[in-house]
Amino acid sequence: MSNENLMTKRWLIAVAGIVIQLVLGTVYAWSIFVKPILGANPLWTKETVAVTFMIIIGTIGLAAAFGGILVDKKGPKFAGTIGVILYGIGTICAGLAITSGNLWFLYIGYGVIGGIGNGLAYVVPIATLIRWFPDHRGLITGLSVMGFGLGAFFVGKIVPGLITSMGVANAFIALGVVYLIANTLAALQLKNPPAGWLPDGFVPSTKTVSAADSFSWTEAKKTPQWYMIWTMLFLNVSAGMGLLSKLSPMAQDVFRIARNVTDPAELAVLGGGVLATASIFNGLGRLFWASMSDKIGRKNVFLVMFATQAALYFYLPSVTSPLIFTICASYLLACLGGGFAVMPAFAADSFGPSYIGRVYGFVLTAWGAAGVVGGLVFAKFDQVRPPLYIAAALLALGFFVTLMFQRPKHVSHYKAANPAVSNQ
């Protein structure tokens, strides 16, 4: 295939990757389902249902590490197809669990099976597109994971009507079937570029690690920088996922106080509207911050995101205006999404693209850990003030970790380029 055809093909593969991420990102709309699930199963509690979200996010993070191994070994088409099929099945299982009233089936079906599929598939478009777009790493990872952020927006708009017309259980089943069909077709389009391929006119930057100098997973995990990147993602996601898990109920409380709204159905619509709006920025923030990282650098973007988020989380408990609350939530979710968008390029710049599936796949275990920690912190307190202050402290810590980060030196290649060092 000519280079011109390959340049066209990479954008078709990018579209397929975005479709996959769009469907996978529907997991972030969990809070919309909570009250209808409790209505369908009165014996379940908010706490037991909330465990489902913590399970699936924790499982996604762990499964992403194995997705990275699988995509490097078997290729993106195989890894992606397995993942999206499992996520579709897990979503269908959620509907069956609600129908049967079996909470453990919900945990295992949606939480574990769906989480494994989501995690396996999540890393595949990212690892694939980083290889196809060495000239636009930030932009392409931003576009890819933008779909993940926008998934909750579409579900937030569609699902309330779907639940009203067919019930929450059937809504899950219908969504699961759509996910299976759309994502399987998209996954079958994925493939890696030819070995050594570069876009026309592209010269790799000396400020990043080239494919030839890439760190293997064994080498990367021996550097302190890998653990610093893991920590940065963990801290950013802990705050964001905690907020996301309670965003709709928090928004409803603001509307209840500010506008004296008491009707549960009206509050649910208003809370869902805030979640849908913030989810738009979760997606747009991925594209914005990723594009900014191509201009000002990955490290500088994280410094800005950590500093501004810490200030806003500290301010949020005093917000009583629905408009101000929505603006704050939108910015915070834009930074949550931005962290996911910038980090793959940050990892590729630091460790090279050749083994990015494994290197970044294991970084994503921070996502799983953060989903559990953030969810527990926000679930533990009845009042919103303490967890928001804890989130602010975590983000302040993230700022200082980022400030200390310096790109790692590849010892073997450094010695090869400096024979005098090898003899010391």
pLDDT, tens only, 51-85: 898 899 889 878 888 888 888 888 999 999 999 99
Structure confidence at residue 263 as a pLDDT band (50, 70, 90)? confident
CA angle 311, 314, 319 (to 5 degrees): 110
- pLDDT value for 100: 93
Contact 29, 279 (CB under 8 A): yes
pLDDT, one tens digit per residue, over 270-327 is 887 888 788 788 878 888 998 899 889 999 999 999 999 999 999 998 888 999 999 9
Structure confidence at residue 1 as a pLDDT band (50, 70, 90)? low
- pLDDT value for 245: 76
To which H or E segment does residue 226 belong?
helix 224-259
pLDDT, one tens digit per residue, over 229-258 is 999 999 999 999 888 778 888 888 889 888
- Number of continuous H segments (helices) and E segments (strands) in the chain: 18, 0
Average pLDDT over the chain reads 86
Q: Measured in whole angstroms, how far is the alpha carbon of residue 193 from the centre of its chain?
A: 24
Contact 74, 103 (CB under 8 A): no
- pLDDT value for 206: 63
Structure confidence at residue 391 as a pLDDT band (50, 70, 90)? very high
Q: Measured in whole angstroms, how far is the alpha carbon of residue 368 from the centre of its chain?
A: 10
pLDDT, one tens digit per residue, over 329-377 is 999 999 998 998 899 889 988 998 888 888 988 898 898 788 778 877 8
CATH entry, 9-193+214-406, from 1.20.1250.20, 1.10.10.10, 3.40.50.720, 3.40.228.10: 1.20.1250.20
- pLDDT value for 421: 32
Q: Which of 310, 322, 290 is nearest to 398 (CA)?
A: 310
> Which residues, including other chains, have CB under 8 Å from residue 11's CB and lie 6 or more apart?
none
CA angle 362, 397, 322 (to 5 degrees): 100
How far is the C-alpha of 314 from the C-alpha of 293, rounded, in Å?
Answer: 26
pLDDT, one tens digit per residue, over 154-179 is 777 788 888 888 999 999 999 999 99
Contact 283, 335 (CB under 8 A): no
For 197, phi and psi rounded to 5 degrees?
Answer: -70, 140
Kindly state the percentage of the chain with pLDDT values over 90: 42
For 45, phi and psi rounded to 5 degrees?
Answer: -115, 165
For 266, phi and psi rounded to 5 degrees?
Answer: -65, -40
> Which residues, including other chains, have CB under 8 Å from residue 309's CB and lie 6 or more apart?
236, 239, 332, 335, 392, 395
- pLDDT value for 417: 44
* Domain range list for the chain: 9-193+214-406
The two tokens of residue 346 are 């940050």
How far is the C-alpha of 122 from the C-alpha of 64, rounded, in Å?
Answer: 7
- Lowest mean pLDDT segment, chosen from 15-24, 103-112, 195-204, 219-228: 195-204
| Residue at 107: amino acid letter | Y
> Which residues, including other chains, have CB under 8 Å from residue 158's CB and lie 6 or more apart?
none
Q: Which of 364, 152, 145, 132 is nearest to 243 (CA)?
A: 152
CA angle 89, 13, 229 (to 5 degrees): 80
How far is the C-alpha of 272 from the C-alpha of 320, rounded, in Å?
Answer: 18
pLDDT exceeds 50 at position 104:
yes
State the Cα torsion 292-293-296-300 to the nearest 10°: 110
**What is the average per-residue pLDDT within 105-115?**
96
For 352, phi and psi rounded to 5 degrees?
Answer: 90, 160
Helix residue spans in 352-404 (DSSP H): 356-363, 365-380, 385-404
pLDDT, one tens digit per residue, over 35-54 is 899 999 998 988 899 889 88
Kindly state the percentage of the chain with pLDDT values over 70: 94
Q: Which of 267, 51, 32 is nearest to 152 (CA)?
A: 32
Q: What are the b/e assignments for 125-137, b being 16+ CB within 10 Å?
A: bbbbbbbbbbbbb
Q: Tell me the whole-structure pTM to 2 decimals.
A: 0.75
- pLDDT value for 210: 66
How far is the C-alpha of 190 from the C-alpha of 124, rounded, in Å?
Answer: 9
